[in-house]
Structure formats: structure tokens, C-alpha cells
Amino acid sequence: MKVKIRVITICLILSYSTLIDAQSIKKIDRAIYKDSLSQALTKFSKQSLIPGFAVAIVNDKEVLYTKGFGMADIKKGIPFNPESINWVASISKTFVAFSIIKLVEQGKLNLDQPINQILPYSIINPHFPNTPITVRHLVTHTSSIIDDAFVPYYIGEADICIVNDSKQYDSLPAYLQPNLTYFRMGKKISLDEHIRKYTQPQASWYTDSSFLKKEPGKYFQYSNLGAAIAARIVEIKSGLSFIDFTKKYIFQPLQMNHTGWNFEDVDAKLVSKIYAQNDEQTPSGVVEHPQYYMTNYPVSGLKTNATDLSKFLIEMIRGATGQGKLLNHTSYEMLFQTQLNCEGLNKTDSSTFNGKYNIATLWSVSSKGIVFHFGGNTGVYSFIYFNPKTKKGALAISNLRDNSFGEILTLVNKYEELF
């Protein structure tokens, strides 16, 4: 009997020892990968025009890696780090998606409800006046409402305005001057006024070209305006501004303390400068670009940093794998369930990040099951993604819209799979 006990004890000790060794090896491997990724991103940073960026790799429990590279402010020599705040552009739409599903969970909204039963005015595709547009159409980019952003410009108005204008921007390169002129036309208006101007037949920005000659629900085409209407529906159905709704149900529960929709809602000392290329055709450097405000802010205007956005990403991974705390299990299933089988998708492209393969609720889902969203605008390129199978994901935020940003995604995705 004593011999059996001794044998069992020895086996347990050996098993535990093996486990400890395996964990130690994994820590060593991860440290090597971290160092290797840092070296690769540092090399990229020195070669790229992008002044600064930050990345993060996470799993469903913690941040595995986060680091900043380059400069948040070239003139003052301030480094870009995981606490640096910048726009994330269209990644903002993932917060619209969450908000819509939260209202469904609360019993205040039905995805198949026609939007004209909710809005205080009607939005009708003039080419298909008898086909109602539903909330589901808005959050799957199948509403047939599209973006004709040049209309305000042609009539001497703008849906973008400069936050703090300065004469220093008068010397921006010639190719940026039309942008600067346009931004100076703008004024800060409400989300509701923005939507009315584009969708109401007698309004100044209205045109039939803001609507596809495709029946609502039958064709996929990415739409900022459609997502903005979804955000307005959040306001109407919740009785809160979109700013207050996201603060209450996302930012505060996740302690995203350096995240907001307005510059006055975040720490000015942490806000990165934004930049543009010094030449449109053959850029050799960058110039500082003025910060600006977009009147459809819920679809493109979120200001945050890699640290805060990591908290959101971890919650999304947990939610997709049955462990989320901000929505119940059924709601998270609804958020990430692919929904489309229609024209406008690209089902032949099996790449890891094919944004037209399928759509969940404003999130793209690739053929490999990767859930993701990209963002791009003047002064920012960004990405966020996760793999529900491996329970890992990554993100990056930069302060220049430059094609070389794709290399960051390639490098981070390569190493994320090793962590």
C-alpha cells in the first residue's frame, strides 16, 4: 500500500514539474516573440512615413503585448505610446453595433422594425418607395442608403469642421488646401440635423444619388450614413444621447477612462497630433494637419488609446466565447452572427481580412472566421480584430493615413498567432 502511494506521489510530482517546465518554456517563447515583434515594428517605424502608432495583442484574459512606436508630436518630441489618444475612425461603428444590440437585449428595439416607425421623419429610397428600410438593413450595410459626401462641398457647406483653426495651417501643401477650405466651411451640428440634411427631400444636402438603385436588403454597400442613422435610433429608443449611452454601457463598465467622442472629454495632454503627407504623389515627409470634428461622429469620431481599446477588445472576445459581462450570451451571439447572402459581397476571396466576405452587426467576418473592423481617415489608420477559436486578437492605432500601415497588420497578425 505504501509503495502504491509513493508511486502515485512521484507521478504527481513529475506531472507538476512537467507542467511548470511547459509554462516556463511558454513564457520564454513569448518573451522572445515580444522582442522579435518589437524589433520588426521598430524597423518598420524607422522606414515608414507614419510618425507614430501603438499596437496591442490580447487574449480573453489579458493584454499579452502592447507598445508604442515613433512620435505622437514630432515638433515637441513626444513619443507615441499605448496611452496616446487618437482617432480610430470607422472602428467607432463597432460601438454603434454594441449599442443597437444592447437595446434589443433591453426589449426596446427589434432589428426587423422599419426605421420609419422609429424616426420622427421618413427616410425612403426614391427608387423603391414601397420597400421599408429596417434597423437590420442599417447594421448590415444593406439599407441602400449610401454616402454622397461631395454634395455639401458643392453648395458651400460642410459636414466636417476644424476644432481649433490656426494660421499655421495656411501653409499646408497645395493638394490639402481644398480640404482645408472645406473644413473651414463646416460648423458643429447635431447628429439629427446631419441625417435630416442628407435624407429629407427638401434639405440642402439631399440627392437621389444617396440611394442605390437596389432594393433595401438586397445589396451590400458600406454606408457611413446608414450607421449614423442607427446611432440616432439608439438615442431615440434609449432617451440618452449617443455619447451618454456609450459612456453608461461601455466606457464606464470597462473603465475606459481615456475614451470619448469629443476632444474636451479626453485628456488633452495625451492627444496625439495628426498628420498628412507633404506631397500627394511623391511624399518625402509629413505635415501636421488640424484636428477636426465630424457631424456624424458615432461612425468615425471615437478618440481612444491602445490601452482602453484593449479593454473593449478583451470584452468582445469574452462575449463571443460565452464569457462577456456587458451583454448576455444570446445578445453576443446576435452581435457576431453573420447575416448576409446577397449581392455586393466577395465570397471568392478567402483572405484573412476580406471585409466583403460577410457581415455581422457592423463587424466584418472573413471566411476564416476572423471578426474585424478597419478605420481610416485624415490623420488615422486603425484596425481591430479577433479570432473566436483561439480567443486572441489585436489592434493598432496610427496618426497618419498611409498605405504602409498594412505592414503593421501583417506583422502583428503573424506574431499574434505565436503568442
Locus of grid cell 426605421: 115
Q: What is the tens place of the pLDDT at every residue in 107-137?
A: 999 999 999 999 999 999 999 999 999 999 9
Q: For 81-129, list the strands marked E by DSSP.
A: 86-87
Nearest Cα neighbor of 289 from 369, 379, 202, 220 is 379
Q: Exposed e or buried b for every residue in 384-409, given b needs 16+ CB within 10 A? A: bbbbbeebbbbbbbbbbbbeebeebb
| Number of domains observed in the structure of the chain | 1
| Of residues 7 and 314, more confidently modeled | 314
The C-alpha angle 231, 346, 362, rounded to 5 degrees, equals 15
Contact 310, 58 (CB under 8 A): yes
| Burial of 256 (C-beta count, 10 Å sphere; 0-12/13-18/19+) | buried
Q: CA 5 to CA 391: how far, in whole Å? A: 39
Would you say residue 16 has pLDDT above 70? Answer: no
- Write down the pLDDT at residue 231: 98
* Residue type for position 169: Y
In a domain? residue 2: no
Q: What percent of the chain has pLDDT over 70?
A: 93
Q: What is the tens place of the pLDDT at every residue in 219-228?
A: 999 999 999 9
Helix (H, G, I), strand (E, B), or coil: what is residue 183? helix
**CATH number, domain with residue 193:** 3.40.710.10
Q: What is the tens place of the pLDDT at every residue in 193-205?
A: 999 999 999 999 9
21 confidence band (pLDDT: 50, 70, 90): low
Would you say residue 28 has pLDDT above 60? Answer: yes
In a domain? residue 366: yes
DSSP class of residue 288?
A: E
Contact 80, 382 (CB under 8 A): no
Helix (H, G, I), strand (E, B), or coil: what is residue 119? coil
In a domain? residue 26: no
- Residue length, the chain? 419
Domain that holds residue 158: 36-416
In a domain? residue 131: yes
In a domain? residue 22: no
The C-alpha angle 394, 264, 362, rounded to 5 degrees, equals 40
Contact 359, 342 (CB under 8 A): no
Quickly count: other Cβ atoms within 10 Å of residue 60's Cβ: 21
Helix (H, G, I), strand (E, B), or coil: what is residue 311? helix
Q: CA 49 to CA 284: how far, in whole Å? A: 8
In a domain? residue 14: no
